[in-house]
Amino acid sequence: MTATQGDLASLSRFVFRAPSWYSSLTFALCLAAVTGVAAFDSRFVLGDAWEGVFFIGLPTIAASVLTPYVDGWLGGQLTPNRASLLALSCELVTIAFLTVAGVVALVAGFGQEFVFDVLIAALGAIFALRLFVTVAVSRHSLPVAAIPASIQTAAAALLLFVYSGTLRYFEIGGPLTRSYLSRPQEAPPELLVVTPDDFVMLAVVCLLYATAVWLFLLAIDQPWRRSLDVSVLDFIRGFIGHIAEGTRELEDFFEEIGEEAVVPVTVLVFRTPDGTEKARFVLPMIHPGPMGEIGGGNLPERVARNADGLAFPPHATAGHDFNLVTEREVGTIIDAAERAGDEIEFTDEATVSVRTDEGEASLIGQAFGDDALVVTTYAPGFADDVAYAVGLSATAETRSAGLDDVMLVDAHNCNNGLEGEDLGHVTPGSKRSFDMIQGAGALGDAVVEARRGQPKLGVAWDETPWEPEDGIGPLGIRVSVLDVEGHRTAYVLVDGNNMEPGLRAKLVERVEENAGDIDETEVMTTDTHIVNTVEADNQVGAAIPDDELLAIVADLVDRAVDDLEPVEAGMASERAEVTVFGNDRTETLASHANAMVSMGSYLAAVFILAVFTVSVLLFFLA
């Protein structure tokens, strides 16, 4: 992950699930009642609360109820939950405007007309906000989107028209019309300052705001169309859909920019002599991202659910360019793993584990028949993802010693978060890439010559008391101990996204000194991105005490040693055709998204300031 990609991943902090429509409405009405008590001055508190609900909450109700139906009739995608969340947000904006206006009026001595001028500006602002969201979510043209977007503003304007008695300025209608469309006697006296000019001004302000929205969308959309041939509105629509209701619209956007790729899927299975599967290592050469459960973010858990024995889904040598674009692609990976599992030929012969060090890279591996499991780490150095091409080269170098299938695991177990420029990404041509490739070749030679014998396997698993916000995914911590001729190797797999610096060394020391006479230990993480709905660098050890983690791992190793029994092992690989982000697409998307967030916010501020300035001039000139 580069720094730019890290900034993109940090957008996951905005990922949340919107409340149901009735929860949003309940909160909106309660807020309107409290605002009414503060804003109006009748003889009874309940009367003030009711006026707040009526004049502030009723437009919110109208927007919540009518917007999904009007937008749906026009072919849009605003659901009741989204519409209610949007209406509540607009109510908050209106209340914020009025609160500031009330304070300014009190301090500066302005009259009630000033407060209603600010109200008109607020109604124009929420129209602009609703227009932007409606265009982004439903992909209407601006004139069509203005219809559902105007509901909240129009409902508020209608209430103002009726209860301010504005009809008295017109020579139209009879007693029946006036009884329904002119009811100033039933409204707070503050509303009597409203005149027909205010409604003309509201229309002008809304038109001004709509023009600003159109120009803003045009400005931020052009770079996306030139570089990625997609609209930024597709990205915004997908992101809003994901945060509001957990839809897969963001995956649809990723699918548009994705590229086809062929990835190896390697499976290592251990079974008891009676044929019962005891453990299964599954390694597809893809990256479990980009964030949360989007794409392949929850790949490790999906792999675990489809294994008969205890599943170990470690991290492969692949970066964010090999993120799956949709969760559907995970099914393709699972199918390839099942095909590979069906082709496995088992053997009761394995080697002891051997370790080689080359430069910054440290590799441990052992063979099962003519196949090998290899785990690589750069600890105590900081490292993140290993590029796909580097992994393929290292695998080929290992096989050159006479091995068939090789499962090359990126331990992904030591990094310093999102600090630095490249975040430790191991790229082709770097010194680190050659360290790994040369180390893999030396390890292959050592494994072929290593002592062989009957393997024994013991496994243990603890879901742990921690949650994704603590940096631990649903698979918790899993341990396998392999005993060959009395030589024991512990493989510790933590369902998390990398580790805090120094933690891997503490775990290795604790295991080898205090647990089960272990000769070699390696600690791995799955790189699950389900933990990144909290923050982009929610690494193992950042939120949980080291001592508690060390105690659980040591206990699991002891339990795995107690579980040791003779096994047969076998490995096979299949290829899967999937759609991934693609070469350089991740960096391009990340840079555009980051630019949209940073520069877009400044650009929006400029537009808002310009529109606000023009609005003020209009109010002074009118």
Strand partners, 310: 279
Residue 259 and residue 300: Cα distance in Å, rounded?
22
Asked if 134 and 149 touch (Cβ cutoff 8 Å), the reply is yes
Asked if 326 and 298 touch (Cβ cutoff 8 Å), the reply is no
- Output 303 or 291, whichever has higher pLDDT: 303
Of the candidates 343, 361, 374, 392, the residue with the CA atom closest to the CA atom of residue 448: 374
Q: What is the tens place of the pLDDT at every residue in 398-438? A: 999 999 999 999 999 999 865 555 567 888 999 999 999 99
Of the candidates 16, 86, 29, 565, the residue with the CA atom closest to the CA atom of residue 292: 16
Query: pLDDT at residue 477 above 90?
Result: yes
- Output 133 or 48, whichever has higher pLDDT: 133
Angle at the Cα of 131 from the Cα atoms of 28 and 27, rounded to 5 degrees:
5
Residue 419 and residue 307: Cα distance in Å, rounded?
37
pLDDT score for 176: 46
Q: How many CB atoms lie within 10 A of CB 174?
A: 7
Q: What is the tens place of the pLDDT at every residue in 109-164? A: 776 677 777 788 888 889 998 998 888 778 788 899 999 999 999 998 888 777 66
Query: pLDDT at residue 442 above 80?
Result: yes
Residue 167 and residue 196: Cα distance in Å, rounded?
9
- Output 373 or 469, whichever has higher pLDDT: 373
Element (H, E) at 335: helix 328-342
- Output 274 or 258, whichever has higher pLDDT: 274
Which tokens is 444 given?
A: 């292959």
Phi-psi region of 468 (alpha: psi -120 to 50; beta: other; left: phi over 0): alpha
Q: What is the DSSP letter of 575?
A: E
Asked if 159 and 60 touch (Cβ cutoff 8 Å), the reply is no
Distances (CA, A) of 562 to 160, 275, 458: 77, 21, 7
pTM of the model as a whole: 0.73
- Output 414 or 4, whichever has higher pLDDT: 414
**Confidence at 216, pLDDT banded by 50, 70, 90:** confident
- Taking the C-alpha atoms of 410, 412, 415 and 420 in order, what is their torsion angle to the nearest 10 degrees? 50
Which tokens is 345 given?
A: 């030929």
Residue 43 and residue 151: Cα distance in Å, rounded?
32
Of the candidates 112, 153, 104, the residue with the CA atom closest to the CA atom of residue 131: 153
Residue type, 550: L
Angle between helices 196-228 and 151-163 (to 10 degrees): 180
Give me the mean pLDDT over the 295-300 stretch.
77
Query: pLDDT at residue 508 above 80?
Result: yes
Distances (CA, A) of 51 to 34, 39, 44, 164, 365: 10, 9, 11, 14, 74
Asked if 530 and 468 touch (Cβ cutoff 8 Å), the reply is yes
Instruction: Phi first, then psi: give them for residue 552, nearest 5 degrees.
Output: -65, -45
Domain spans in the chain, listed from the N-terminal domain onward = 14-221, 259-580
Q: What is the tens place of the pLDDT at every residue in 320-356? A: 888 888 888 889 999 999 999 999 999 999 999 999 9
Instruction: Phi first, then psi: give them for residue 456, nearest 5 degrees.
Output: -120, 140
Residue 578 and residue 333: Cα distance in Å, rounded?
8
- Hunting for tokens 């043209």 — which residue is that? 141
Pairing of strands 354-358, 406-410: unpaired
Pairing of strands 371-377, 520-525: unpaired
Which segment, 40-44, 93-97, 217-221, 222-226, is predicted with the most confidence on average? 93-97
Of the candidates 143, 140, 180, the residue with the CA atom closest to the CA atom of residue 163: 180
Average per-residue pLDDT for the chain: 82
- Output 451 or 111, whichever has higher pLDDT: 451
Q: Kindly list the strands in the beta sheet with 477-484, ordered across the sheet, starting from the edge strand earlier in the chain.
A: 520-525, 487-494, 477-484, 455-462, 565-566
pLDDT score for 168: 56
Distances (CA, A) of 416 to 102, 366, 384, 540: 49, 29, 9, 11
Distances (CA, A) of 157 to 36, 55, 173, 198, 301: 18, 10, 19, 10, 52
- Output 555 or 536, whichever has higher pLDDT: 555
